[in-house]
Amino acid sequence: MPSNVEIKARVSNATRLAERASQLSQSEGTVIHQQDTFFNCSTGRLKLRNLMQDGSGQLIFYERPDCDGPKVSNYSLSTTQDPEGLRTVLADSLGVKGEVRKERRLFLVGQTRVHLDSVEGLGHYMELEVVLREDQRPEEGEAIARSLMKELGVGDDSLVTGAYVDLLLEGQG
């Protein structure tokens, strides 16, 4: 199962973070509109990501601890050309836990995906996903994430636990 090291943090100044990410990635980033539907499941999280621009989607199962700071996430992913049809089947069979709508600006910095997210009902957040190579230990990914946090000006005091859906369900918007 592929894995990555992730962190999620609240962002107080989205413009400044976007400028730093732009400098590090040497790009303006790619804007992506996403709707994630989370389904009830017994372990981990199961979400269907509707990639609003092109009508495609991704069914993603992942497991990661709910703690702040860098954490390893193991995931599996399958693409679909019928996200709405798949959503109906999964909703009917498993039930919907919650939904997250966001505008994501994606920057690539080395092996790290830097996401600047504007989440409906929550505000601005940043995610780092250090995609681990097969031969790479999680500790190396954590070191990369910590280093990028410093370069982006993200302090430990802004780190959050859980997924956006959890924050929305807890009313932390």
Contact between 1 and 149 under an 8 Å Cβ cutoff? The reply is no
Q: Which residues have CB under 8 Å from 22's CB, separation 6+?
A: 28, 29, 107
For residue 95, give the nearest of 156, 61, 46, 166 by alpha carbon. Answer: 46
Instruction: Look at residue 157 and tell me whether its pLDDT is greater than 80.
Output: yes
Of all residues in the chain, the percent with pLDDT exceeding 70 is: 99
Q: Is residue 173 part of a domain?
A: no
Does the pTM of the predicted model rise above 0.95? no
For residue 38, give the nearest of 97, 80, 78 by alpha carbon. Answer: 97
Q: Is residue 109 part of a domain?
A: yes
How many helical (H) and strand (E) elements, i.e. helices and strands, does the chain have?
4, 8
How many structural domains is the chain composed of? 1
CATH number of 11's domain: 2.40.320.10
